[in-house]
Amino acid sequence: MVEVSPRSSPISIRYWHYLVLLMVLVLGGLIWLWWALGSQWGAGNSTIETWRPYLAGGSRAPRGAKQVDNLNQALRLHRVLRLGEKRYAVLFSVTDAQGAPIVVVPPGDVQISLADPTGRLQPVTVERVTPLHQMAAWGERAHFSCVLDWSGSMFANDLQALKDNYSSFLKALTLPYAGAVYKFQTDVRQIIGLSSDPVALENAVRQDIPQGSTALFAAIDTALAPVQKAPWLRLQIISTDGMDNVGGATLDDVVKRARLHETSLFVLGFGWVHVDVLERLAEQTDGYYVYVPDSRDLATWFPRLAGIVNNVQVAEVAAPFDLARPGGIELTVRAGAASLKRTR
């Protein structure tokens, strides 16, 4: 039998190997987090979105993002209303090559065809065209919902930009109106119902709520309720810095419902948003959109959108038939050298 003496030398553990591995993992995690904060994926992820205000790197807007809008030489068909037997009002807005509203539209520059009981478009007689703000007999002529993003990715200066500049939209309106204010994050909250008191509306805009994820489509859908039965112009003024990452209502849902109730969506986006989503919300509901990467630029755009609302045109027409609601319309307006057409 051979005896083997026990090993008495100390076991050597190379701790630095594990420390290097740990440092590599931490560094990889930080690089991934930095990428996520500044990526479109990060904008669509509710957890990363919530971290953005505290981990500010890369979270403002895509590098090189440029301002874009659909205001230039635009024709929008907002509503068709029955005024009486064989008489209708067509509410539309039209802008020039610089995106400013055209304030005087001669009846001779407007051609309208409405669908008769068989569904065939027939020309109607345009009797007069009047800016909405001059339709004094209509009382409150614009009903709208202010839909404000209060999600976790909103920085303090973004929230302040909304608080400071939404009042410029209200102050620029020159026609009687009633507005409601909604704020959204993970859920949607009505801050104030329809009100004609600008002070109450401004106070509602300044009221804070907890921050969370971005329930953009649910907010648009919920805020349609107070305006969908309004008598004249119906619209939403929406501001957001992110993509919907909550679920529930979809883009198709809100577009379909807004069209059903003839409610135009005016959308202001900044930061990490899908511009094509803003465009679809606006184009398919006869509204307008503006993408401004920096929320400080909202100071310019809120009054410009108010100017379009003020100068929505009312074309009063006589038709050879009588329907509660024509099933289709074709509108053509001459705007300077351009001829603009819109159908529904």
Closest CA to 49 of 154, 147, 149: 154
Q: Give the span between the Cα atoms of 213 and 287, in whole angstroms.
A: 25
The answer to whether the beta carbons of residues 317 and 112 sit under 8 Å apart is yes
Residues of the chain with pLDDT under 70: 1-15, 17, 29-60
Which DSSP helix (H) or strand (E) runs through 240? strand 233-240
The residues spanned by each domain of the chain are: 15-51, 63-344
pLDDT of 35:
60
Residues 6+ apart with CB under 8 A from 19: none
The answer to whether the beta carbons of residues 187 and 219 sit under 8 Å apart is no
Closest CA to 187 of 212, 205, 159: 212
The answer to whether the beta carbons of residues 112 and 122 sit under 8 Å apart is no
pLDDT of 123:
97
pLDDT of 58:
47
Which DSSP helix (H) or strand (E) runs through 51? helix 46-51
pLDDT of 237:
97
pLDDT of 78:
97
pTM of the predicted structure, to 2 decimals = 0.86
The answer to whether the beta carbons of residues 314 and 83 sit under 8 Å apart is no
CATH of region 63-344, choose from 3.30.230.10, 3.40.50.410, 1.10.1740.10, 3.40.50.150: 3.40.50.410
pLDDT of 262:
97
